[in-house]
């Protein structure tokens, strides 16, 4: 089919998209009749439904009162944010088969047209590509119909009117479109007004095949130049200027609950499905989740946010779900949740090459779970790695998260033998000063005579705040009467004239 033409299009159409967008993250509702209501109460009406609701008697435009008269039908409110997130997911999956994609949606349906010319070497014949595309979207929770044609409008009209996969051979577009109703021209020629439809109805013309059978010159004479586009569309020859999208890769899932959720288990059930979708999208690009941000919309208009940062990027569903469970347990929302949004940052999966003689380190996932449990017990500000702060203040440090990366030892530092061991907490001492330097000190248990003292070394800082300090340090070599020696660091706090033993030299 593509040998005689340089163009080939595959149109993907997801019917009843408001319902599909809500049900893809709620697989437990798939076997129930579900109708989606749009508008504000009391003027709500059905805008979409699944096949179970259709068989139960639900129709488009029915009011909430009419739907409630039918037993067993679950009613959900339409969510434009959920639909926007689902459209991005559908577009992302379609982009795996072609980089040139155009928006082709109409009404409550979601449709994309793919330029698949020249993809035979990658995916095989067009019917094989359509099957793989449909299966890929089905794995993401979408039920779609696909039509393939060398004409853009023919593929679009056929995808909207049929179910499953339709392959239109080149030159047989008019035959494939002959049984479609006149309303299908709205997808190809936007100038089809209501009065034009009434005119065709008065003439007894109800299908595209009947329009194609009309003489073009006579049709234009009666209805104007716009009738040429109708005739070309009915023959499958209407030209189209393809305008491909430039989508941005974002990992985001959103779901709005029909009733507020108070139980954590129910929230984690939905979160597990969202994490599955995010991981599948990331792994499709050979990526993993480097961070996960959870935004919870609470009853009363409040918001609650959580941040998950694994030590290394991960694509392990159970691990990420466990982190989410521990984070929610440590920072529970203060009220019921009415909507949840997950945003993830993707990164490449890192691998660490271990040496033969290097001791095995724990898995980063187990380390993250252990740290999350410790934070829940002792507090977040007391778990992590110690990082020295860029200041002259002695002993100033902060707690940061573990990186999970192996750190190579510095050979120059490893060769050093002397060690300065800090005393935690510093020990208060009474010092005897002669000629401006320490001569003896008493630590509460022993008295030491100073044999040599080096200093003082002055340091001060934060004079502009309440945390100001002004100290002088002395390196002291001292001894007791029993012959024991001690090399230590004595620090004097100038503001309070207090001495303390802060470190001991080994």
Question: H/E/C letters for each residue in 198-263?
Answer: HHHHHCCCCEHHHHHCCCHHHHHHHHCCHHHHHHHHHHCCCCCCCCCCCCCCCEEEEEEEEEEECC
Kindly state whether residue 228 falls inside one of the protein's structural domains: no
Kindly state whether residue 388 falls inside one of the protein's structural domains: no
For the chain, helix (H) and strand (E) counts, in that order, are 17, 20
Element (H, E) at 422: strand 420-434
Residue where a domain stops, chosen among 141, 173, 205: 173
Asked whether the whole model's pTM tops 0.85, one would answer: no
Kindly state whether residue 35 falls inside one of the protein's structural domains: yes
Q: What total of structural domains would you count in the chain?
A: 2
Using alpha carbons, select from 36, 59, 39 the residue that is nearest to residue 48.
Answer: 36
* Antiparallel, parallel or unpaired: β 101-103 and 110-115: antiparallel
Note the maximum CA span of the chain: 125
Per-residue pLDDT of the chain (506 residues; tens, 9 = 90+): 444 568 899 999 999 999 999 998 888 888 899 999 998 888 899 999 999 999 999 999 999 999 998 988 999 999 999 999 999 999 999 999 998 999 999 888 899 999 999 899 899 999 999 999 999 999 999 999 999 999 999 999 999 999 999 999 999 999 999 999 998 988 876 678 888 889 999 999 999 999 999 999 999 999 888 899 999 999 999 998 899 887 778 899 998 888 898 888 889 998 999 999 999 889 888 889 989 999 999 998 899 999 988 878 888 889 899 989 988 988 889 899 999 999 999 888 766 666 676 666 666 677 777 877 887 787 777 777 777 777 766 667 777 776 555 455 455 544 556 678 888 888 999 999 998 899 999 988 889 999 999 988 888 887 777 777 788 899 999 999 888 999 999 999 887 888 999 899 88
Kindly state whether residue 290 falls inside one of the protein's structural domains: no
Residue where a domain stops, chosen among 136, 152, 173: 173
CATH code of the domain containing 91? 3.40.1170.60
Ramachandran sector of residue 415 (left: φ over 0; alpha: ψ -120 to 50; beta: rest): alpha
Kindly state whether residue 287 falls inside one of the protein's structural domains: no
Phi, psi (degrees; rounded to nearest 5) at 411: -65, -35
Residue where a domain stops, chosen among 173, 196, 220: 173
The total of other beta-carbon atoms located within 10 Å of residue 174's CB is 17
Kindly state whether residue 432 falls inside one of the protein's structural domains: yes
Residues spanned by the domain of 158? 9-173
Kindly state whether residue 208 falls inside one of the protein's structural domains: no
- 141-158 burial, b at 16+ Cβ within 10 Å, e below that, comes to bbbbbbbbbbbbbbbbbb
Q: How many Å apart are CA 399 and CA 387, to the nearest integer?
A: 6
Kindly state whether residue 455 falls inside one of the protein's structural domains: yes
């Amino acid at each position: 089919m593509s040998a005689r033409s340089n163009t080939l299009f595959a149109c993907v159409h997801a019917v009843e998209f408001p319902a599909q967008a809500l049900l893809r993250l709620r697989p437990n509702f798939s076997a129930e009749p579900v109708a989606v209501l749009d508008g504000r109460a009391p003027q709500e009406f059905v805008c979409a439904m699944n096949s179970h609701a259709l068989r139960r008697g639900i129709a488009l435009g029915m009011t909430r009162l009419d739907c409630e008269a039918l037993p067993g039908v679950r009613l959900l409110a339409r969510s434009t944010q959920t639909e926007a997130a689902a459209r991005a997911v559908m577009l992302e999956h379609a982009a795996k088969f072609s980089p040139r994609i155009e928006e082709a949606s109409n009404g409550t349906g979601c449709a994309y047209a793919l330029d698949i010319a020249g993809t035979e070497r990658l995916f095989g014949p067009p019917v094989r590509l359509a099957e793989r595309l449909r299966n890929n979207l089905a794995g993401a929770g979408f039920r779609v119909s696909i039509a393939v044609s060398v004409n853009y409008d023919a593929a679009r009209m056929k995808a909207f009117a049929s179910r499953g996969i339709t392959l239109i051979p080149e030159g047989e577009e008019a035959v494939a479109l002959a049984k479609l109703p006149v309303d299908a021209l709205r997808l190809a020629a936007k100038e089809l007004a209501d009065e034009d439809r009434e005119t065709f109805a008065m003439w007894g013309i109800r299908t595209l095949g009947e329009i194609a059978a009309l003489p073009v010159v006579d049709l234009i004479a009666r209805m104007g130049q716009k009738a040429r586009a109708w005739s070309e569309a009915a023959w499958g020859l209407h030209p189209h200027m393809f305008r491909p999208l430039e989508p941005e890769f974002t990992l985001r899932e959103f779901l709005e609950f029909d009733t507020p959720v108070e139980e954590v288990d129910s929230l984690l059930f939905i979160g597990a499905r969202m994490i599955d979708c995010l991981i599948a999208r990331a792994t499709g690009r050979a990526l993993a989740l480097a961070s996960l941000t959870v935004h919870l919309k609470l009853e009363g208009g409040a918001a609650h946010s959580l941040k998950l940062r694994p030590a290394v990027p991960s694509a392990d569903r159970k691990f990420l779900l466990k982190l989410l469970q521990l984070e929610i347990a440590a920072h529970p929302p203060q009220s019921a949740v009415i909507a949840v949004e997950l945003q993830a940052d993707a990164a490449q999966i890192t691998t660490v090459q271990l040496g033969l003689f290097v001791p095995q380190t724990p898995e980063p996932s187990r380390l993250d779970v252990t740290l999350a449990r410790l934070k829940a017990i002792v507090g977040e500000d007391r778990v992590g790695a110690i990082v020295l702060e860029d200041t002259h203040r002695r002993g100033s440090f902060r707690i940061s998260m573990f990186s999970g990366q192996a750190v190579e030892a510095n050979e120059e530092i490893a060769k050093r033998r002397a060690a300065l061991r800090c005393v935690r907490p510093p020990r208060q001492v009474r010092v005897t000063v002669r000629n401006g330097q320490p001569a003896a000190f008493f630590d509460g248990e022993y008295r030491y005579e100073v044999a040599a003292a080096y200093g003082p070394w002055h340091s001060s800082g934060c004079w502009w705040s309440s945390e100001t300090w002004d100290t002088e340090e002395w390196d002291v070599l001292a001894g007791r009467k029993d012959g024991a020696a001690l090399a230590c660091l004595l620090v004097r706090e100038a503001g309070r004239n207090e001495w303390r033993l802060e470190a001991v030299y080994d």
